[in-house]
Amino acid sequence: MNKMSAVNTIGILTSGGDAPGMNAAIRAVVRTALGNELKVRGIRRGYSGLLNEDIIDMTARDVSDTIQRGGTILQTARCQEMCTEEGQQRAAAICKKYEIDGLIVIGGDGSFKGARALSNLGVNTIGIPGTIDLDIACTEYTIGFDTAVNTAMEAIDKVRDTSTSHERCSIIEVMGRDAGYLALWCGIANGAERILMPEEHDYNEEAIVADIQECRKRGKKNYIIINAEGIGDSMNMAKRIEEATGMETRATVLGHMQRGGSPTCKDRVYASIMGALAVDLLEQGKTNRVVGYKHGEYVDFDIDEALGMQKGIPAYQYEIAKELAL
């Protein structure tokens, strides 16, 4: 395990897509660090802000009345320059210029790759998993997933109401990039007839058409398909299914509404604990680590180990979802 000298100033940034609960993590980092007599510097707009030296000193007041707010008070951005060796070296030099001894990065796998690069260049780094996609292999929880899945679930309930009234087939597309966790959880929670995920390779439109026709014979008033954005093409899929079945079919793409909104209790609490733990890890002399949640405990992993892990959809959960759709 990599060790470092004592920290005096901690930098914090949010990178990549925003996620509800990031503010709770920021608040916890700031207040834990200040309580331990450390300085905190907030870096606006992720790695892009770091490279542009958009860096501010943070006080306890800066994070007051933020825990209930969605998004990130530090703003976020994607930064291609941070993928280059030149950009990484410049970022490390800027950290040293602002006397940032430890850097806490809230984001996903891409953000952790940047943290790893900075660690290799002598900047002590800790990652916190923040993404609504739940696609970080080293952890069972990521900041924002709980809020996003509840937002999607409530929206799908509303679509089901009108779908039943009109006896429609509804295709609802949820986010998740190349991961199907949002789709799987919504499929189970909303009682969907079909769940389409990039991890599963049994997507068969003809089988869906046959199932819709069979369900109509049994008197079902609607047919709900949860479609992960990794599959996509919901609008064209709706047209094809309507043509094949004669059942009115509508597509709804929930989109970025899933990233917004006030975070749930779970996202506030888990994010707060992860933020405090990240500060503790830096003070313990740890670096190049990522915080995670496994088997009911908050843990930390080497970033290289974490990035090398693989994560798949639990087969049993998917089988249950299909059984309950009968």
SS3 269: helix
Q: Distance between CA atoms of 202 and 179, rounded to whole angstroms?
A: 15
| Pairing mode of beta strands 124-129, 102-107 | parallel
CB 304 within 8 A of CB 288: yes
Strand (E) or helix (H) holding 213:
helix 205-217
Put the strands of the sheet holding 249-253 in their side by side order.
Answer: 194-196, 223-228, 169-174, 249-253
Q: Would residue 133 show up in a list of annotated catalytic residues for this protein?
A: yes
Strand (E) or helix (H) holding 227:
strand 223-228
**Cβ atoms within 10 Å, residue 266:** 15
DSSP state of 168: -
Long-range contacts of the stretch 81-86 (C-beta < 8 A, 24+): 81/47, 81/48, 81/51, 82/47, 82/48, 82/51, 82/114, 82/117, 83/113, 83/114
Residue tagged active-site, from 18, 133, 211, 267: 133
CB 3 within 8 A of CB 114: no
Which residues participate in catalysis according to the annotation? 133
